[in-house]
Structure 1
Amino acid sequence: MIMHDAPEQTVKYLSLLGQQFPNQQAVFTEIINLQAILNLPKGTEHFMSDVHGEYEAFLHILNNCSGVVREHVDEDFGDTLNEEEKDNLCTLIYYPHEKIALVHAAHQDSPTWYKRMLDQLITVARRLSSRYTRSKVRKAIPHDFAYIIDELLHTHPDENNYRVRYHERIIDSILETDSTEEFIYSLAELIKVLAVDHIHLVGDIFDRGGGAAKIMDRLLSCVHQRTDIQWGNHDILWMGAAAGDAACIVSVLRNNLRYNNYEILENDYGISLRGLVSFADRTYRGGERIDPLMKAIDVLLFKLEGQIIYRHPEFDMEDRLLLDKIDLEAGTVTIGDETHPLITSDFPTIDPEHPYELTPEEARIVQKLVDEFTGTDHLHSHIDFLYRHGSVYLVSNNNLLFHGCVPLNEDGTFASVNCEGTWRSGRDYLDFCDHIARRAWRDHDRDALDWMWYLWIGHRSPLSGRNVKTFERSFIEDKATWIEPMDPYFTLTHDPACCDMIMREFGVQPERGHIINGHTPVKTTSGEKPIRADGKLLVIDGGFCTAYHPKTGIAGYTLISSSRGMRLKAHEAFRTVTEAITHNADIRSETTQFAAAERRIMVADTDTGTKIREQIQDLRMLLDAYRTGLIKEH
C-alpha cells in the first residue's frame, strides 16, 4: 500500500507514470491487458550466425524463417493442398513480387488464382496472428491496408454467417479494384513478420561474401521485428575501421580483396582504391605468387600492427613482431628458433633499421583511407546500427549468446587480461570489451581504437579466441607455421561442468540454460556436432560462407526457439533466388528437436514476462496512489 510518507522519488516516478495512465480506469485497463499478454505463447526466436556476406542465402532464410513458414503452411492445409500447391504458396510468401511477375509471364494470373492465393494467405496470417495481441498485430500490418487486413484476420463464422459474407465481400472488392497484387505483397510481409518475433544474429555479418552491405540494408528495413547482434570478430573489425583505426582499415581491405569483394568497398561504400593500386603497381614487382596490391597491403598491415604492439606491451603480442625478423638479403624470416624461406623478397618499403615506420607515401595513402572510411555515410549508418542493436554478449531468456568465447586458462579458470591497468576476467572482461568498443565509436581516442584492433585479432580477444598467423599465411609456404592455437575455451566447453561455470558467471541458470556460439564452423564431414556438452553448448556456425561448404558439408545452422522448445536446423546449400522463384527451390533443412518443453512456454516464462510483471507491480502502486489521494486523477 502506498502511504502519504512515500519517498519523494517514488512520488515523482508515479506522477510521471500517471501522465500515461491518468485515472483508475486507465490503470485497470492496462493491468488487464498486461495480464492477458502473460498468458500468450512466447514468440518465436530465430538465431543465425556467421552469415559472412552471403546475402541471397541470408535473405532466403530470413524469408522462410528457417522453415517455420512452411511448417505453418503444412499445419494449415494438411492434405487439402498437394506438395506443389504448398511450394507455390510458400514461394509467393517468400518472394511475392517476383512470383507474381512469373505468374504474369505464364498468363496464369486469373481472378480465380488471385482469389485462391488471397484466401490461403489470409488463412496463414490468421493462424500466426492468434499468438499475439491485436495491438501488436496492428502495428505489424503494412500501413496501406491496415484496416482491411485487421478486419479479415478477425473474421469468424457467426450464427447467420454475416461475418463470413462480409469477409467475402471484402475479397471481391479487392479483386474489383485491381489492388490484389499490393494486397498480396502486404499479406506476405505480415506473415514473415509474425512467423518470427525476434532475430538474434550471433556475429560475423561482414567479410568473405560480397553482400554484407545488402544484409545491413535489409536489417535496417526490418522495423517490425526485434533484432539484436552479438558482435563477431569480423564485425568489430569493420566497426574499428569505420571509427578510424588504420590497422582495422587495412585488414578490411586485405580480407575483401582476398575474396575479390571490390564491390562492397567501391560500389556500396564509395571507398576508392585507385591511390593504393597505383602505389602498389609502381612500388612492387609483378609476376610473383603475391600480386603487387596484396604485397603493399600486407606490408602496410604488419607495420601498423607493429606500432600498436609497441604502444601496448600489455597486449602481450610481441610474437607478432616479425618484420624485424626478416633477412632481406637471404629472403628468410626467423620465428623462434626456426628460419623459414619467404615466398617473396620484394620488400622495397621496409627500412631494416626502422621496419615498422611508414614511408611518407604510405602514410599519405593510409590517411586518405582513414578519411574515406570515416566519411562514408552509408557505412556510418550500418555501423551505427551495429552499435545500437549489438553488444559483445547477451543474456536472453536464460540463454547466453556470444560470438567467440570467454577466455579461459588451461585449468578451466577465467583468464585475466590487463585492461588499461586493471586485470579483468570472465563477465567483467567482456563488459570492459563492450565499453571500450563503444568508446572507440564515441570518442575515437587512440587507446580505444587500438583495442578495436586487439578485439579483432588479439590472443585473448573474446571475439577471436585464437593466435592468428596472418604473416605466416601471407609469406611462408610451410603450412605447419599456419596453425593457429585456439583458446582453451574451445576444448574445455565440451565438458558440461565448464559450461555450467560460464553460465553462472553471467547469471544464467545452468539447469535450463544454454550457451549459443558462432565463430567456429562445425565440420560435419569430420563428425563434429553442433550440440555439445549434453546440450548445454550450441555452436550454430555451420558455414553460410560458400568457401566453407566443402569443409562443413552443409550451408549453415540456424536455431529456432518457440513455445514448444528448441530446434536446430541444418541447411543444404542455397542455390539462387532465381531458382527459388522459378522452381520453388526452397532450402531443405534437417531438423533436430531438443530441449522440448514439457508444457507450452508462455510470455510469462520469458524475460518479457518478467518486465511485464514489474510493470504490473508499478501500476498497482499507481492505483494505490490514486485511491489514497497521494496522486490526483485526471
Structure 2
Amino acid sequence: MNKKLTTQNEIKSEIINLSAILSLPKGTEAFVSDIHGEYDEFAHIMRNGSGNTKQKIAELFTGRLTPMSQKKLAFLIYYPSEILEQTKSEINDTERLNQWYMDTFNNLIEVLRYTANKYTRSKVRKALDPDFVYVTEELLYADTNAQTKQLSYQNVMTSIIDLKMADAFIVATCHSIQRLVVDHVHIIGDIYDRGPHPDFIIEHLTHHQQSFDFQWGNHDILWMGSVAGSKLCMLNLLRICARYNNLSILSDAYGIDLSAVSQFAIKNYQPLKSFTPKSDTGEEIPLETKLLDNCLQQAAAIMQFKLEGPTIRRNPDFKMENRLLLDKLSSDRNSIVIDNQEYQIKDGCFQLVDKDDPYQLTNEEQQMVEDLIEQFMHSEKLRQHIDYLVSKGSMYLKYNGNLLLHGCVPVDKVGNLKSWQVHGKSYAGKKLFDYFDEVIRAGLNNPSMKDNFNSDVIWYLWTGKMSPLFGKDKMTTFERYFIDDAQLHIEKLNAYYTLRKEEWFADKLFKDFGLEADGHIINGHTPVKAGTSPIMANGKIFVIDGGMSKPYHKTTGIGGYTLLSNSYGLQLVTHEPFTTREKAITEMTDVVSTKRVIEQSVKRKTIANTDVGSKIKKQILELSQQLNKF
C-alpha cells in the first residue's frame, strides 16, 4: 500500500474501496508475438485494440449509425490527427463543421464511457489527457437525462469549439479510448530483426500510458547481447540486418557508424548468389545497396564463424563442437568434410580465413569488431531501448494463471525435462529459465568488451541446443550459405514442438512452473502455417506467431494472430496482412480481423479472479488485521 492509514475510518474506507475493485470485470489482455520490426501493422493493431474498438462501436451504434459512419468513427479513434485533417478539408462550411464537432464529441464520449465502465474512476483518470481531465470527467459522468445537466453538457462542448480546442480534445479523447480498450498487452518475443522499425515499436511502448510486458525472443537476445558486449551477438545481428536490407536501422536509428566495415566488405568480397539480400517489402533493392548488403553479409558471416571457434572451445559445457567447421575445409577451400562425408562448397568466400589458424581474426577484422562493439555498447538510444526491454521483460511470465514464453521448454522425446549442465550444476524446466534470466541481467548490468561467460551464455541463447528461445539441435547458417544439400540445412526441432499438441504434456509443464492445470501456455517463435491450427493440447497451448513479419505471409497466409483474454473468456483474432499506414488512412482500410471464441466463462470473471485481485485480497487481510488492533 502506498499510503499510511492511521485511523479506523481510513482503514474501513480503504477496505470498502478495495472490495469494490474486486467486483469489477477483469480487464482485457492482448497477447501478440513476433512483431519483427513491423511497426505500422503493430501500431494499427494497438490503435484498433485488436478489433475491440470496432466491435464496441458496433455494439453501441448499430441501428443508429450507418456502417460507413461507424467505420469513420473507428478510424477517427485509430488515427485522430490524420482523419481530422481529412474531414476538415471536406467540410468548408463553419456551421456544418461545428455540428460535426458536436456529433463527434457525443459519439466519442459515449465510446469512452462504454470502454471505461469496467475500470475505477482513478484508473480512468490516469488514462485521460492531463489537459482535459476535468472537462472529460464532466462529460463522462454527466447525467444527460437531467435537464440541468444536459444544458451544462451542451455548454461544455460549445465552449470547447468556441475556444478552438475541438481538435486537441478529439485527439486526446481518441488516445484515451485506445489506452482503455485493452488493459494490458503481452508481447511474447521478437520485436527485433527483419522488419524496418523495431525502434519505433519501443518508442511507441515507452510513450503510451498502457501496461506492457515482454517475454524475450531469440532475435531480441542478439540486440541485448550486443549491448552487453557480445561480439558474436553483434556480428549475427549485423549479418541479419544486411540480409534483410536493414542496415539503416543501425546507422539511422542507433547511430552506429558502418563506414569502416562497409569499405572493408566492398574491398575484400565480391557479390555471391547465396548472400543475395531479401527485401521485407518486396520492393526492388537498389543495385548499390544490394552490393553492399551482399558483401557486408559475407564479411559479418566469416568473422562470426571465426569467433565461434574460441567461444565454443572455452565453453565445453555448450557441447557445440559440431559447429566448428572452418578447420574442416579442404586446403583449396572447394570442399568440406562434415561427419566423415565430403561436400562441395558453393559461393565460398574464405579468402581471409588463415589455413593454419582458421579461427583467428585478421588485424583489420579485430580492429573493426572492437570498434563496432564499443559503438553498440555506448549507443545511448539503443541502451535506453534495451534497458526498457529488460525492465519490462523476462524469459517467461506467469500471469493470471497462464504461462507465457517465446519458444519452448526443452524436453526429450517422451516429455521429460532435459537438463543443461554448466559449471557442475544442472538446470531444467523452470530452473533453466530462471538461470538464463539471471545471466542475462548480470551481463547487461556489467557489460564488457572482454570475452566473458555471461556474454557467451547470451550468445548461446541465440543458437544453443538447450536454449528455450531457439529449440533446435543446431543452427545451420554455414551449411545454408555454402553447401547445396537440403538435408544439411535441416534444423531439427526439440520434442516440445511435437508434444505440445498433447494435453498431458501441457499439464506436466503447468506443474513444473507451479501453475494450475486450468491455465494456458502461450508461445510465439514458430510461424503457424496456413491450414494448421494455432490451438493445441485441447485448448491449453496457443501458438500465436501467425506471420506479422512480411516474409512469413506466404507461409502463414495471414498477417498475424492476437489472443484476447477478457472477462467473458478467450478469443483468437486472425488478422489479414496489413498494407501500408497511408493506405489504411486514406482508404479507411482496416486490418480485417476474424474473432473466434475459443473459451467462454460460465460466470463473468472479475478482478478477484486475477493476480491483481490476489494482491488486493492480501491487502484487505492486512488491513483487517490492523483494524482488529484498535
TM, length-normalised to structure 2:
0.94
Distance apart, 1:106 and its partner CA = 2.2
Matched, 1:498 2:505: yes
Matches of 1:596 and 1:504 in 2, distance apart?
24
Which residue of structure 2 lines up, in the alignment, with residue 272 of structure 1?
257
Aligned to 2:286: none
- 1:410 is paired with a residue whose SS is coil
Give the structure 2 partner of residue 472 of structure 1: 479
User: Displacement, 1:19?
Assistant: 6.1
Q: Which amino acid aligns with 1:267?
A: D
Output the amino acid matched with 1:488: A
CA contact (8 A) 2:234 2:373 kept: yes
1:414 aligns with 2:417: yes
- Structure 2 counterpart SS, 1:575: coil
Shift of 1:500: 0.6
Equivalent position to 1:309, from 308, 312, 323 = 312
Given candidates 146, 156, 174, the residue that maps to 2:133 is: 146
Match for 1:484: what amino acid?
E
Deviations 1:16-51 (A, max 9, x none): x79621322221111111000000000000100000
Deviation at 1:344, TM superposition (A): 2.7
User: Could you say which residue in structure 2 is the equivalent of 1:9?
Assistant: none
Q: Distance in 2 between matches of 1:178 and 1:300?
A: 60
**Residues 1:103 and 2:87 aligned together:** yes
**Distance apart, 1:114 and its partner CA:** 1.2
Deviations 1:455-477 (A, max 9, x none): 11111100110121111112222
Structure 2 counterparts to residues 138-537 of structure 1, below 5 A: 138-158=125-145, 160-222=146-208, 224-286=209-271, 290=275, 291-444=294-447, 446-466=452-472, 467-510=474-517, 512-524=518-530, 527-537=531-541
Q: For residues 377 and 80 of structure 2, what CA distance do their matches in structure 1 show?
A: 38
The superposition leaves residues 3-26 of structure 1 with CA deviations (integer Å, 9 ceiling, x where unpaired) of: xxxxxxxxxxxxxx7962132222
The more displaced of 362-371 and 337-346 is: 337-346
Cross-structure match for 1:564: 568
| Distance in 1 separating the partners of 2:330 and 2:212 | 51
Aligned-partner residue type, residue 604 of structure 1:
A
2:107 is aligned to: 120
The amino acid of 1:497's aligned partner reads W
In the TM superposition, what whole-angstrom CA distance separates every residue of 1:471-513 from its partner, at most 9, and x where no partner exists?
Answer: 1112222222111101110001111101110011111111x21
User: For residues 330 and 368 of structure 1, do their structure 2 counterparts lie closer, same or farther at Cα, with a shift above 3 Å needed?
Assistant: closer
Give the C-alpha shift of residue 414 in structure 1.
Answer: 0.1
Would the alpha carbon gap of residues 53 and 410 (structure 1) be closer, same or farther in structure 2, given more than 3 Å must change? same
Equivalent residue, structure 2, for 1:623 = 627
The answer to whether the aligner puts 1:133 opposite 2:120 as a matched pair is yes
Q: 1: distance between equivalents of 2:550 and 2:331? A: 38
Matches within 5 A, 1:550-589: 550-589=554-593
Of 63, 80, 83, which residue of structure 1 is paired with 2:67?
A: 83
In structure 2, distance between residues paired with 1:288 and 1:594: 46
- Superposed, 1:47-86 pairs within 5 Å as 47-86=31-70
Aligned-residue offset at 1:282: 2.0
Aligned residue for 1:163, secondary structure, equals helix
Q: Give the stretch that moved more between structures: 104-113 or 84-93.
A: 104-113
Tell me the residue number matched to 1:35. Answer: 19
Per-residue CA deviation, residues 379-399 of structure 1 (Å, 9 max, x unaligned), is 011000011000000011111
Equivalent of 1:25 in 9, 16, 34: 9
The 8 Å contact of residues 32 and 544 in structure 2, kept in 1 or not, is answered as: yes
Q: Does the CA-based 8 Å contact 1:555-1:571 persist in structure 2? A: yes
Q: Which deviations, in whole Å up to 9, do the C-alpha atoms of 1:76-105 show, x marking residues without a partner?
A: 112111110011000000000111111122
SS in 1 for 2:189: coil
The whole-number CA distance in structure 1 between the counterparts of 2:204 and 2:196 is 14
Query: Is the contact between residue 580 and residue 586 of structure 1 (CA under 8 Å) also seen in structure 2?
Result: yes
Residue 141 of structure 1 deviates from its aligned partner by: 0.6
CA distance in 2, matches of 1:83, 1:615: 47
- Between stretches 121-130 and 292-301, larger displacement belongs to 292-301
CA contact (8 A) 2:242 2:296 kept: no
Give the Cα separation in 1 of the matches to 2:135 and 2:271: 66
Q: Answer yes or no: is the 8 Å Cα contact 1:18–1:622 preserved in 2.
A: no
Distance 2:533 2:513 in 1: 25
Give the CA RMSD over aligned residues: 1.4
Runs of 4+ residues over 4 Å off in structure 1: 286-289
Q: Residues 98-135 of structure 1: CA distance to partner in whole angstroms, max 9, x if unpaired?
A: 11111122236711111111110000001111110111
Specify the SS of the correspondent of 1:401. Answer: strand
The structural deviation recorded for 1:171 is 0.7
Distance 1:118 1:19 in 2: 37
Partners of 1:288 and 1:612 lie apart in 2 by 61
Identity of aligned residues (%): 40
Q: CA deviation at 1:328?
A: 3.9
Structure 1 stretch displaced more, 539-548 or 573-582: 573-582
Q: 1:366 to 1:480 in 2, by over 3 A?
A: same
> In structure 2, how many angstroms separate the alpha carbons of the residues matched to 1:578 and 1:306?
47
Change (3 A) 1:157 1:110: closer
Q: Distance in 1 between matches of 2:469 and 2:215?
A: 9
Q: How many residues of Structure 1 are paired with residues of Structure 2 in the alignment?
A: 605
Tell me: CA distance 1:192–1:345, structure 2 relative to 1, closer, same or farther (3 Å). closer
Q: What SS is found at the alignment partner of 2:600?
A: coil
Letter in 2 for 1:387: V
CA distance in 1, matches of 2:406, 2:29: 17
Deviations along 1:604-625, whole A, 9 cap, x unmatched? 0111110000011111122223
Of 375-384 and 348-357, deviating more is: 348-357
Distance in 2 (alpha carbons) for counterparts of 1:288 and 1:190: 50
Contact 1:570 1:590 in 2 (8 A): yes
- Give the drift of 1:327: 1.2
* 1:545-570 deviations in Å (ceiling 9; x for gaps): 00000110001000000000000011
Q: Return the alpha-carbon distance in structure 2 between the equivalents of residues 345 and 258 of structure 1.
A: 17
The one of 542, 559, 565 aligned to 1:538: 542
Give the aligned partner of residue 281 of structure 2.
none
Distance 1:235 1:18, change over 3 A: closer
Three-state SS of the structure 2 residue aligned to 1:34 is helix
Once the two structures are superposed, residues 198-230 of structure 1 have per-residue CA deviations (whole angstroms, 9 ceiling, x without a partner) of: 0100000000001100001001112x2211000
